[in-house]
Each structure stands twice: as C-alpha cells, then as structure tokens.
Homo-oligomer: A and B are copies of this chain.
Amino acid sequence: MWGFCRIFFVTVLFIQFAFLLSLFYIDIDTWTKTSSKILRFSGLRCDNNPQTSDFLKLKTGRENDVLVLAPPNTPLQYPIRGFRVAPMTKTRIPGLAVQTQNRDFYKVSLRVQKGLLSVMDVKDDKKIVFGQNEENLTISSSSLEHLNELLSRVTYTSTIFHIKTEDLAYFSFENHEVIFPIEIRRRSVPNLYDPGKDINSQVTVLVKAFLRYKELNALIQSIRVNYPKIKIIVADDSLIPEKVVGDNIEHYIMPPAQGWFAGRNLALSQVTTKYFLWVDDDFVFLNETRIESFVEIMEAVPELDVVGGQVGRNQFAFKLNYEEGNSEEGGCISRVRGFYAPLSGFKGCFFVDGVVNFFLGRTDAVRKVGFDPFLRKVGHSEFFIDGLGELLVVTCQGLRIGHQERTNTPEYRKYRYPPKADSQNKMTHHYFKNHLKCIKY
C-alpha cells in the first residue's frame, strides 16, 4: 500500500510539473534558448521592436523547443504526435481513451486555448456531455465503454486562422492530467520539377560577370564543347556592359557594380530547371568536367541540396561551428576545415557546411536561402551561414573544373579586393542580420 501511495504521490508531482511546464512554457532544456519562443507562446506583441518581432518570426516551428513529458501511471490514452488539423476545420481527435478499474461514475475533461471542442452526433446526451462547442469539454458516464465511445467522437475546431501554429490540449481524469499538442497547419501544394529528359532540361549554368569578358567568353566556349545546348544565365553588373550573345544564353544587365551576391541572386531567380550549376566567370570546363556526375548524386539522394566539386586542385570545403550566445550579445561562428561524415554510396563525398564556388544546387531549396544582395564584394561563406540548418551540403572529390590564368586588371582588382571598410560593414551587417558578435575564419 505504501508503495502505491508513493507512486500516486510522485505521479501527481510529475503531472503538476509537466502541467506547470507547459502552462508557463518554461524551457528547462539547457541546450535550447527559447526566450523568444516563450514570448511567442504567450502571444506578446513586439510592435516597438521589429528586430524581436523578426526574431520571433524566424523561430516559427521552434515550438518543439518546449519540453513536454508524458507522466507515468495515468489511465489516459492520447496522441503525442501526428494530430494535425487544418485551420478552422472540425477534426476528430484520434486515440482518446481512458483505461481504469471499475467505478460507478467516470468523468473526463478536455481543455484547449485556440479552438472549440465537441462530441460528434450527441443526441440527447446533454446530461452526459457538457460544454459542446466550447474550450472546456466534460464527458461523464456510468459506463467506461460508453465514455470511451464518446471520447472516440471528440472533435477539435480551431477558432483562429493560421497556417503554421499549434494549440495544447489538457486531458484529465480525476487527479491525472496530460498534455498533448495539436498542430494547426494549412496544407501546402506540392512543388515539383519536371524531371526532364536530358541534362539540358535538368540543369542551368549560372555565371556572375563583371568586367572580365575575355574570361567569360573563354568559359562559355569551354562549356559549349561538351554542352552545346545547356542554358547559361549571365548576371552582369559591369560598368560598361558588352553584349554576350549565343543560343541558350540569357544575359541580364544590372546597374553598375551592384555586386557579387546580388548577381548570384538575380541569376538564381531566373532558373526554371530543377538544378543549377554555379561557376565563376574565370573558370574553364575541362574534358573531365561532367555535370551529369553531380545530377546523379542529387537524384540518388533527394535530401541533398548542394553538391560541391573542386576547382583545379582546390576542394575548399568547411564546417561552421555556431554558438548561439545569449540573446543580447548574439552568437559566434567559426569556419574550420574538415567534414562531418561520408555520404554512403558515393566514395569521396562528405557532408560539410560549405563548399567551393563550383557546385550544383537544388533550385527550390537554394532559393529558400538565397544570396543576400547586401553583400557586394565580400562574401562566399555568408551564403552557407544563411544556409546552416536549411541546406544539406556535400563535397565530392574528382568533380573538377579548371581555373583560367589570373589576369586581373587594376580596375577589376579595385572592385574585387575591397578596402577594410567593406569587411567592417559586413561585420556590422552580420551583427544585425545573423545576430552574431564574432566570426572567425
């Protein structure tokens, strides 16, 4: 008996714990810092602090950072995951049930915050079901079977319209209470790419051009040797643009010196194929440069977003160590050489956070990250910093392209190798944008 009492006591203790936990959204996980999420949950506005607002916004989907425990020894059965509803649409809650010893009378309660509860097809069960179409629903019966039968017909209808949010349901019987999440989600439409028949319908080659037309034309000629029909998109912010002509070449003229990332983002915005290949304007296709090898890997591992190759002997690939830091000061990022793990099935391919300037990208995935047009002259790793946690990146040995002889004119150098001030601006930008206080390269 003493054993049972102890169980009972501890149970109640843990129920209260989990209950308080989710009620006040206290995050006890040391490895997550979701003060912003806590704000978000309690529905606070941040009108006079747009940055915080954004911080909330970008944390959408981080609800999972709030820990909820299933307490032991409760007679309640309930869905712990996978209960998803469309906004403002009546949906049956699956798996609700009570399993307990015989009693003369059984009574359960359900409580939600952002919706209404009801039991389907209740006729004159008024005495049995209280709070039809309210936030608090109580069901009572003298028969456990009848109670569970009613529980199997309980529905939830969100009263708020939202495309990505959640509610928490509190389900209780006598002194037991459990919590389970209700995901409120507007269904998206699939977004597929026509697989295409050949490399030309699968891949577009992207180039950012600035001043060096000799190199650009040499690159294009080298592409045409093995890929006479593949589409090439050129984003050009030269001071005095020259014509770049040829079949399947799209030349976009930007305002002068608009910049490196702006050009990348422009080119990316015009892609209609499933993949794109990024090359610099002074690269040169070799006989061994095979776009098909990249596509093969992507098609085999559909979860990959970026596959990097090597430029000459340079297979520059790196990991990014990110410490989030505190919410005032911001975090730190350091870039280190190395990789995480091999990509099984593809010898010489390894998971990393960033690769060299020669890579195949999955168009839709990379567009979601994009190239920040703020970065005019400085920047490469910045794309992969933005892609952290968004893009699954591998680097592969042997996917090689060449580099033309470096013949930078003084004018080109002036723009390409910016004064220290630009790097400082970049850091200021990062402090705001990525909430970072330090970057170590």
Contact = CB atoms under 8 A, between A and B. Distances in A.
28 contacts: A14-B99, A29-B83, A50-B274, A54-B192, A54-B302, A55-B190, A57-B303, A57-B362, A58-B364, A65-B82, A70-B76, A70-B77, A71-B77, A72-B97, A80-B80, A80-B81, A81-B81, A161-B341, A162-B303, A185-B389, A188-B390, A194-B432, A265-B269, A269-B370, A269-B373, A272-B372, A272-B374, A367-B370
B272 A60 contact: no
A312 interface: no
Nearest to A91: B31
A307 interface: no
Q: How large is the interface on A (under 10, 10 to 19, 20 to 34, 35 or more residues)?
A: 35 or more
A185 B187 CA distance: 23
B70 A72 contact: no
Contacts of A333: 189
A416 interface: no
Interface string A89-115: 001001101111110000000000000
A433 interface: yes
Given A70-B77, A189-B386, A272-B373, A161 B302 contact: no
Given A7-B101, A302-B57, A434 B72 contact: no
Contacts of A190: 55, 58, 433-435
B11 A99 contact: yes
Given A253-B253, A265-B269, A84 B65 contact: yes
Interface of A: 3-4, 7, 10-11, 14, 28-29, 31-32, 45-47, 49-51, 53-58, 60, 64-88, 91, 94-95, 97-102, 160-164, 178, 180-181, 183, 185-195, 250-255, 258, 262, 265-266, 268-272, 274, 299-300, 302-303, 322, 324, 331, 333, 340-341, 351, 362, 364-365, 367-368, 370, 372-374, 385-386, 388-392, 432-436
